Structure 1
Amino acid sequence: MKEDEIYLIDLWRILRREWRWCVLPLLAALALAFAFLHVATRQWQATAWVQVGEFGPTPSGRDPKLEPFQRVIERIKTRLFQDQVLRSLGLPLNGRQAALYRSSLKLDPDPYANLIQLSVRADSAQQARALAAATTAQLQALHRRIQAVPMQQACERLQDIGSELAATQAERARLLQQQGEGKGSVEQQLLGNMLLSEKNATIRGLKSERDDLLARLGARYTYDTSAPWAAYVPERPAFPNPVLVLAVALMLGGGLGVFAAIVRSALRRRQATRMPQPQPAGSGA
């Protein structure tokens, strides 16, 4: 512990003696940091949340989502999908904005909340917000095309159920009318009762299937891919970060300053040891 205290005291003395060599690198680092903050191109970051749509009448045991989370993420990362987003905004595919969009696009899924956090950067807050919205809109349009076929099949099945239900109800009404008139033999009456019971069971089954299908096609179980909230863009740019840049400049500048002061002190000591020592008077023969 005593040696450490002596070393720290010696280091402090070196810094006091060579303070100019310690301050110059620090000032140079700060000057470079301020110059970088002045000339660097500002980048704004937009954050959006995407809710993956679901289709309620999906068979039991299968994921009701229009696409699994991992497939959605891999789809958004493809060059084809990103090119479609850029074309929708009229941006050149090989320009700087396109390169920044592809490199800054980040996806963070949360399966429990059925949300995917999407972040993207651009040279302005408006463009960052537009890119986030266009990415969501492109995914929404794609999922609507995926959902179109099963939705059409579900609607057709709903129409078929309605037609079958109407025909069965008409047949039941005819059987009830025959029973009310009391025509036919006993065997015919018994057969009519059996048919009537069968029609009632069929009607109950069709109504149950219709109600279940209508419920699953409702907004609770069937909905489009969308953004529950508008994209968020902070007032200040995400890059460059002044606090981070200045902190790095202080650390690097201070470290280089201490190193320069130690090196300068070592050179001074070496020069002092090489200087010839004066001879004492009267030392001759």
Structure 2
Amino acid sequence: MVPPRWTAKVTVQIGQVAMANANGTPAKLTLENQLTAAERVNQPNFRLNVIKALGLPEPDTGSKKADLAFDSLRAAAERSPDLVTLQASSYSKEEALEIVDAAFKGLSTTHRKLFEQSTEVTQQELTRAQDNLSAADTEYRNATNALKSGLTANAAGARDVLVSNTVSLLRAQVSDLRQQVNAYRDALSPVQSYPTRAVAPAYVPERPSTPSRTVWVLGGVIIGLLIGAAFALLRDALKGA
């Protein structure tokens, strides 16, 4: 008789990072290809690490729970290009949930490292752009004030032209740097950059995915009745012959 099993599932959205471009539109990069992520989960080494993280013995060492967890843990790509569903079975709902949670942590931990490295670089670029913007804005305001206050009024005409050109260049530089700052901020926003996450909490049905003990008993009774009826018919047929 096969003991009842429960199958837990969780749908995972693979994280992404946004890289700021000169045109202000961030380029979105998925932390890992959907099919690659699913295949990585399905590899024996990944499933073995999940088993170890749960404190279970290695498969094929006499533990039915470990064997079932190892054999049933699977990942499948969904229609959306950034979604992967993890599923695993165990002999209780709680254990099935623990397995898929451990698998999710194993998948998301690798992605978290990539996410943090990428966002750290973008944050550094944002800080640098903000410093440059602050310096350029100060120069622009000083040059503009000097031109307006008439400090160059008694100077040669060429000097006035030079200051005016400097103001124009600084104005363009400030505008470009402001666009860079906005682009980096947009790239770091949670809408554009986010780590791998579960779409919803892991789910396991109340009823087991395999027939219950009662169903097996009823099935045995029915099979027994059918066999008895067959023997009775065969016996009657032999007597009639």
Which residue of 1 is the match for residue 174 of structure 2?
Answer: 203
Whether the 8 Å contact between 2:6 and 2:91 is mirrored in structure 1 is yes
Which residue of 1 is the match for residue 144 of structure 2?
Answer: 176
Count residues with an aligned counterpart: 232
Which residue of 2 is the match for residue 67 of structure 1?
Answer: 32
| Unaligned stretches of 5+ residues in structure 2 | none
Is 1:186 the counterpart of 2:160? The answer is no
| 1:41 Cα offset (Å) | 2.4
| 1:165 Cα offset (Å) | 0.7
Q: Which runs of 4+ in 1 moved over 4 A?
A: 58-63, 241-266
Closer, same or farther in 2 for the Cα pair 1:252/1:195, shift >3 Å?
A: farther
Closer, same or farther in 2 for the Cα pair 1:205/1:254, shift >3 Å?
A: farther
Structure 2 residue matching 1:181: 3-state secondary structure: coil
Query: Normalized per residue, which structure has more helix?
Result: 1
Which residue of 1 is the match for residue 57 of structure 2?
Answer: 92
The one-letter code matched in structure 1 to 2:65 is Q
Which residue of 2 is the match for residue 79 of structure 1?
Answer: 44
Query: Normalized per residue, which structure has more strand?
Result: 2
Structure 2 residue matching 1:215: 3-state secondary structure: helix
The one-letter code matched in structure 1 to 2:5 is Q
Q: 2:189 aligns with which of 218, 227, 250?
A: 218
Is 1:50 the counterpart of 2:12? The answer is yes
Q: Deviations over 1:134-160 (max 9, x none)?
A: 111111111011223222211111111
Alignment of 1:1-80 (within 5 A): 36=1, 40-57=2-19, 64-80=29-45
TM-score by length of 2: 0.82
Q: Deviations over 1:19-48 (max 9, x none)?
A: xxxxxxxxxxxxxxxxx3xxx323222121
Whether the 8 Å contact between 1:119 and 1:132 is mirrored in structure 2 is yes
| 1:108 Cα offset (Å) | 3.3
Whole-Å separation in 2 of the counterparts to 1:240 and 1:156: 57
| 1:236 Cα offset (Å) | 2.5
Closer, same or farther in 2 for the Cα pair 1:113/1:79, shift >3 Å?
A: closer
State the superposition RMSD in angstroms: 2.8
| Unaligned stretches of 5+ residues in structure 1 | 1-35, 271-285
Which residue of 2 is the match for residue 112 of structure 1?
Answer: 80
TM-score by length of 1: 0.70
Whole-Å separation in 2 of the counterparts to 1:51 and 1:213: 23
| 1:223 Cα offset (Å) | 1.0
Structure 2 residue matching 1:56: 3-state secondary structure: strand
Closer, same or farther in 2 for the Cα pair 1:174/1:61, shift >3 Å?
A: closer
Whether the 8 Å contact between 1:58 and 1:64 is mirrored in structure 2 is no
Q: 1:162 aligns with which of 130, 152, 159?
A: 130
| 1:61 Cα offset (Å) | 10
Greater mean alpha carbon deviation, residues 79-88 or residues 128-137: 79-88
| 1:263 Cα offset (Å) | 4.5
